A and B are shown apart, each in its own frame.
Chain A
Amino acid sequence: MSKMNMVQAINSAQDVMLDRDPAVVVFGEDVGYFGGVFNCTEGLQKKYGLQRVFDTPIAEGGIIALAIGMGVNEMRPVTEIQFSDYIYPAFDQIVSEASRLRYRSGGEFWAPITIRTPCGGGIRGGQTHSQSPEGIFTHVSGIKTIMPSNPYDAKGLLISAIEDDDPVIFFEPKRLYNGPFSGDPKAPAQSWDHHLKGEVPEGHYTIPIGKAETVREGNDLTIITYGTMVHVSLAAAELSGHDVEVIDLRTLTPLDIDHIATSVCRTGRCVIVHEATKTGGFGAEILSQIQETCFWKLEAPIERVAGWDIPYPHAFEWEYFPGQGRVLDAIKKVMEG
């Protein structure tokens, strides 16, 4: 085991897979010699050579198309879309091609590609470097979506994604790269050094795709969340004075509804938290499935805490960001309901 932040864990996952499997290649904008704008591929080109870790033209649609073609030809490409805000030019290749290739070809062709992409705000990125577009992709059949919240999960899930024979989008909450974030921008920055999940094995291990994890046990209320909001929710749970359970989804699709339902049916109260905009967000799907599975066990209406339905505003980042206060308000409302 060694101490790793999330950047190092993601780097390590790619390192392990490049070492184990000659079919694995890593590419994207600035990922080669430079090592990526967030350093997630630092040193990999030097270690594995130009043909295995390389830069691409600035064309996200081309990057994913290239990956699909390579995937069809027995390779296992790991691509980086520099910011998830830049993923839209690749939308057709992801949604119409990668996600449907196995299906439309009657199972004759598939592309085992991994799409890594940093997401989320809290880094003064403005509306083009802060988005959380996961809900756009969870609506698509044929692709798996992952968003880890810590280094240990990030590495294990990324290795699973690379080894998976279906396309996977791997969202990396960039506010968590260097440390957990409780949602208070004025608090001193934390590092992963003293976090349990900052202890990461150096070698190969996997965390199964499609499995949520209870990160705080409680009996009064269940918070369902993922990504950066796991840490915000944990902080709010501590402050709430209630016995709050927190579930980190880790994988969004396929959704671990059994894990969610077991908890919510027991506590009878639920708050769903994500950073992405609210309307049509993935929280709506979670809420709907809880309603289908737990309705008669519910003690109060379910609350959603999410980003406002506006673009991510540069100067009003912390008014946009669903921080501890909003999570606490939701907990209070549901406990009183």
Chain B
Amino acid sequence: MVPSSGKNLNVPAPRHRPGEEPEFDNLDIPSAGSVSRPDILTDPKDMYVYANTLIRVLDMKNNAVGVWDPKLSADDLRKGLTDMMTTRIYDDRMQNMQRVGKMSFYMKSRGEEAVAVAQAMALDKKDMLFPSYRQQGLLISRGRDLLDMMNHCLSNSKDNCKGRQLPIMYTWREGNFFSISGNLGTQFCQAVGWAVASAYKGEDAIASTWVGEGTTAESDFHHGMTFAAVYNAPVLLNVVNNQWAISSFQGFAGGEKATFASRGIGYGMPGLRVDGNDFLAVYAATKWAADRARSGGGPTLIELFTYRAAGHSTSDDPGKYRPEDEYEAWPLGDPIDRLKMHLIEIGEWSEERHERELKEITALVTRKYKEAESYGTLNSGARPEVSSMFEDVFKDMPDNLRRQRQQLGV
């Protein structure tokens, strides 16, 4: 065998590596407000354009423009902003606590807060969420107590997952938030099943599920797309294209060949490609797809075009595979800054109020964390009963597990 020299073999490579100057001149970014908005029951065959553009509402001067403007009330906008701020402050606190050994692992959603928070707001609370691992903003928007989220991450005595799951793999039945797996993409077609059951029962609730762009390479993604299309399932299939899957850029999921939203076309499903850092655009596209699903129009694939500002998790150093300042060069800005500036622009927010809010949320997160720690951490203090680790394998414990529990002496 000769050394590799095949000119027809393509191994994708990102545009920039550490030490290089990041720029995104290659991105085709239409101006805000320039994309039309189809009727919710438009035939997918007439919607190809929406999979290959970028739906944007907030312009560079922080105004909401165009037909996709969801015209949210100032109260809703402020809720969106403060939920995103809470998500970021919560993430920072939890990552820091991981760094000092209070928990095994953490994953931040920095830069992607609009995806989860705006989408949660655009859905009904009865709608079932099948998230991936970077949508903690869904929980925050739906009002889950930060204390419960922390108790889970610390695997302490009040963890509702009873110390069985990694931090951030939340479960919250009461909030219609499915159990996060950790295996990528498995929830995608499960959400379709949930939605099919809802349709079978004649109920109004829909499902929404999320994967990263890297996970679109998994078979589960294609199962979800096929089954959703075949059964006209009332489901939102979201691809969070944050450019990076640990160290692999989106080219390894085929993102250089076609947009992720355009995957929908082959399945006969609308694909919407949305500026994921534009709170209003994310809200509007999600609402469009939710209204379509609820009206019997079936599934929609939504690509949320964003950038993963933090590392994949606490286990990787992004400085090893991409320029440290790449996020600063991201041409679509930061979702919190953009919504904040919009609110200031329309006279419904101010720098002073923002500072005050930051302090209040930080104090809240600190207070909640202290309380959570009082219920134990992974390494010290109270934790769930050891004997409980044999429970819930089955609804009723079989004899072999009872005997093993006795063997352990608990």
Contact = CB atoms under 8 A, between A and B. Distances in A.
A102 B196 contact: no
Contact of B393 (A106, A108, A141, A257): A141
Interface string A56-78: 11010110011111111111010
Interface in A96-112: 96-97, 101-110
B171 A109 contact: yes
Nearest to A74: B197
Contact of A101 (B179, B191, B192, B198): B179
A59 B222 CA distance: 9
Contact of B194 (A69, A105, A257): A69
B219 A96 contact: no
Nearest to B163: A106
Contact of A103 (B173, B178, B224, B392): B392
A62 B171 CA distance: 22
B55 interface: no
Interface stretch (B15-23, B239-247, B290-298, B395-403): B395-403
Contact of B226 (A57, A68, A69, A89): A57
Interface in B170-204: 171-173, 178-179, 181, 183, 186, 188-198, 200-201
B242 to A, nearest CB: 23
B367 to A, nearest CB: 25
Contact of A97 (B165, B181, B192, B195): B181
Interface string A253-284: 01101100000000000000000000000000
Contacts of A166: 394-395
Interface residues of B, number: 47
A128 interface: no
Interface string B144-178: 00000000000000011110110001011100001
Contacts of B128: 72-73
A257 B398 CA distance: 12
A93 interface: yes
B391 interface: yes
A25 interface: yes
B29 interface: no
Given A89-B219, A103-B392, A104-B179, A72 B160 contact: no
A106 B171 CA distance: 8
Contacts of A141: 393
A325 to B, nearest CB: 34
10 contacts: A62-B223, A65-B224, A69-B196, A70-B200, A75-B197, A104-B164, A104-B181, A105-B161, A110-B395, A142-B394
Interface of B: 128, 130, 159-162, 164-165, 169, 171-173, 178-179, 181, 183, 186, 188-198, 200-201, 207, 219-220, 222-224, 226-227, 230, 391-395, 398-400
Interface of A: 25, 51, 56-57, 59, 61-62, 65-75, 77, 89, 92-93, 96-97, 101-110, 141-142, 144, 165-166, 210, 254-255, 257-258
